[in-house]
Chain A
Amino acid sequence: MHKILKILEKNSHLSAREIAVMLDMDVKEVEAQIAKMEEEGIIVGYQTLVDWDKAETERVTAFIELRVTPQRGEGFDKIAERIYQYDQVKTVWLMSGSFDIGLICEGKSMKEVALFVAEKLAPMPSVISTGTHFVLKTYKQSGVIFDKPQKDERSVIS
Chain B
Amino acid sequence: MMNIESMLNSRAAQIPPSGIRKFFDIVASRKDAISLGVGEPDFVTPWHIRDAGIYSLERGHTYYTSNAGMLQLRQSVANYLSRRFHLSYDPNGEILITVGGSEAIDLAVRSLIGPGDEVLVPQPSFVCYSPCVTLAGGTPVPIVTKEEDEFRLTADALRSAITPKTKLLVFPFPNNPTGGIMEKEHLLEIAEVLKDTDILVLSDEIYAELTYGAQHVSIASLPGMQERTILVSGFSKAYAMTGWRLGYACGPKPVIGLMTKIHQYAIMSTPTTSQYAAIEALDHGDEDIALMREEYNHRRRLMVEGFRNMGLSCFEPKGAFYVFPSIKETGLSSTEFAEKLLDEENVAVVPGDAFGKSGEGFIRCSYAYSVKNITEALSRIERFVKRHLK
Query: Are A and B bound to each other?
Result: yes
Question: Is residue B61 contacting chain A, with contact meaning CB distance below 8 A?
Answer: no
The contact string, 1 if C-beta is below 8 Å from chain B, for chain A 128-158, is: 0000000000000000000000101011111
CB of B382 within 8 Å of the partner chain: no
Closest A residue to B22 by beta carbon equals A157
Task: Tell me whether B302 and A21 are in contact (CB under 8 A).
Answer: yes
Q: Is the CB of A21 within 8 A of B301?
A: yes
A-B contact pairs, 26 of them (CB 8 A): A14-B371, A18-B371, A21-B301, A21-B302, A21-B305, A22-B298, A22-B299, A22-B301, A22-B302, A23-B301, A24-B301, A154-B38, A155-B24, A155-B38, A156-B24, A156-B35, A156-B37, A156-B38, A157-B20, A157-B27, A157-B35, A157-B348, A158-B20, A158-B24, A158-B39, A158-B40
Tell me the dominant secondary structure on chain A's binding face.
Answer: loop
CA distance A152 to B38 in the complex (A): 11
- Is A109's beta carbon under 8 Å from chain B? no
Q: Which of B312-363 contact A (CB under 8 A)?
A: 348, 350
Q: Which of B298, B348, B371 contacts A156 (CB 8 A)?
A: B348
- Say yes or no: is B7 at the interface (Cβ < 8 Å to chain A): no
Contacts of A154 in B (CB 8 A): 38, 40, 42
Contacts of B298 in A (CB 8 A): 7, 22-23
Whether a CB of chain A sits under 8 angstroms from the CB of B33 is yes
Say if the beta carbon of A126 comes within 8 Å of chain B: no
**Complex interface bits, A13-26 against B, C-beta within 8 A gives 1, otherwise 0:** 01000100111100
Chain A interface residues toward B at CB < 8 A: 7, 11, 14, 18, 21-24, 150, 152, 154-158
- When distances are taken between beta carbons in the complex, the residues of chain A under 8 Å from B39 are 158
* Cα distance A38–B299 in the bound complex, in angstroms: 25
Tell me the bound Cα distance from A150 to B20 in angstroms. Answer: 26
**B375 within 8 A of partner (CB):** yes
Residues of A with C-beta under 8 A to B30? 156
Q: With a CB–CB cut-off of 8 A, which chain B residues contact A152?
A: 42
Identify which of A21, A22, A155, A157 gathers the most chain B CB atoms within 10 Å of its CB.
A157
Contact call B302/A18, Cβ cutoff below 8 A: yes
Q: How far is B367's CA from A22's CA once the two chains are assembled, in angstroms?
A: 12
Is the C-beta of B23 less than 8 angstroms from some C-beta in chain A?
A: yes
Closest-CB distance, B140 to chain A (whole angstroms): 22
Known: A21-B302, A24-B301, A157-B350. 16 other contacts (CB 8 A): A7-B298, A11-B371, A18-B302, A18-B371, A18-B375, A21-B305, A22-B302, A22-B371, A155-B28, A155-B38, A156-B30, A157-B20, A157-B28, A157-B37, A157-B38, A158-B37
The one of A11, A21, A23, A156 that contacts B28, using a Cβ cutoff of 8 Å: A156
Report the separation of the CA atoms of residues A150 and B44 in the bound assembly, to the nearest whole angstrom. Answer: 9
Q: Bound state CA distance, A73 and B347, in angstroms? A: 64
Q: A158's contact among B38, B299, B302, B375, by CB below 8 Å, is which?
A: B38
Residues of B within 8 A of A14 (CB): 371
Annotate B294-309 by CB proximity to A: 1 below 8 A, 0 otherwise. 0000110110010000
CB distance from A114 to the nearest CB of B (A): 37
Cβ of B345 to closest chain A Cβ, rounded Å: 14
Q: Which of B271-317 contact A (CB under 8 A)?
A: 298-299, 301-302, 305
Q: How far is the CA of A21 from the CA of B20 in the complex (A)?
A: 30
Inter-subunit contact B27/A156 (CB<8 Å): yes
Question: Closest CB-CB distance, B28 to chain A, in whole Å?
Answer: 7
A113 to chain B, nearest CB (A): 34
Residue of B nearest to A21 (CB): B305
Q: How far is the CA of A7 from the CA of B291 in the complex (A)?
A: 12
Closest to B303 in A: A21
Nearest Cβ on chain A to B128's Cβ, whole angstroms: 13
Tell me the B372-388 residues at the A interface (CB within 8 Å).
375
Bound CA–CA A157/B341 (angstroms): 14
Q: Which 7 residue pairs of A and B lie closest in terms of their CB atoms, listed nearest first?
A: A22-B298, A157-B37, A157-B24, A156-B35, A21-B305, A158-B39, A156-B27
List chain B residues, Cβ under 8 A from A157.
20, 23-24, 27-28, 35, 37-38, 348, 350
Question: In the assembly, what is the distance between CA of A68 and CA of B23, in Å?
Answer: 67
Q: Residues of A contacting B299 with CB < 8 Å?
A: 22
Q: Which residue of B lies closest to A19 (CB)?
A: B298
- Chain B positions within 8 Å of A7 at CB level: 298
- Chain A residues with CB below 8 A from B371, complex form: 11, 14, 18, 22
| Chain B hits for A158, CB < 8 A | 20, 24, 37-40
Q: Which residues of A contact B24 (CB under 8 A)?
A: 155-158
Task: Give chain B nearest CB distance to A14 CB in angstroms.
Answer: 7
Considering the chains assembled together, what is the distance between the CA atoms of A18 and B375 in angstroms? 9
CB nearest neighbor in B for A3: B294
